Chain A
Amino acid sequence: GQNIDQPTEMTATEGAIVQINCTYQTSGFNGLFWYQQHAGEAPTFLSYNVLDGLEEKGRFSSFLSRSKGYSYLLLKELQMKDSASYLCAVRDSNYQLIWGAGTKLIIKP
């Protein structure tokens, strides 16, 4: 079966750095996405990786290792507004998005 694993919850301090990991087992791979979702709102697109390596976009970076079935989202200079759930999703061989359950990130002052 297809499976995406992320930690359920993480806590970090304002101004610090946090890394959210995602491991996946899917039937085929056509890219990995990270989305941010605030409580009661729709997911918003953060990043996309299809090749191995690091993609940097401002305070957010995403890394992919296809051979290890592994990705992480790195958030720097954390702000209180970064408190949200972070969803990892993989596009499989049918170009269907398979989603993880999300990691709830709690930022403390």
Chain B
Amino acid sequence: DAGVTQSPTHLIKTRGQQVTLRCSPKSGHDTVSWYQQALGQGPQFIFQYYEEEERQRGNFPDRFSGHQFPNYSSELNVNALLLGDSALYLCASSLASAQAQYFGPGTRLTVT
């Protein structure tokens, strides 16, 4: 049973560029949440997708956008990258009504 997968593992981008991160949820899960985690901090909620729609959104600017596909996989897009966007980006999947979210290994984004 495949768990949550994310790609790429690491990414280096230049300020002002755009980036797309990808996530495949755990088999049987239909909800995907995205988080940003700075070093030494807890995850910060970006948004959640269910049935291909953004269901909830955290306190992130419009530069952060996403998408969920019919197979429940998801993308996170960040435009006009800033140095402060450097972080670990985590994807978590769950069943809409379930208790726990299960995390992927994350994508380490470095903006120079």
Contacts and interface: CB of A to CB of B under 8 A. Distances in A.
Nearest to B100: A45
A96 interface: yes
Interface string A76-109: 0000000000010100001111111110000000
Interface residues of A, number: 22
A11 interface: no
Q: From DSSP, what is the main secondary structure of chain B's interface residues? A: loop
B106 interface: yes
Interface residues of B, number: 19
Contact of A97 (B40, B41, B101, B102): B101
Interface of A: 4, 31, 33, 35, 41-45, 48, 50, 87, 89, 94-102
In the A-B complex, the 4 residue pairs with the smallest Cβ-Cβ separation, listed nearest first, are: A99-B42, A42-B103, A45-B100, A48-B99
Interface of B: 33, 40-45, 48, 56, 58, 90, 99-106
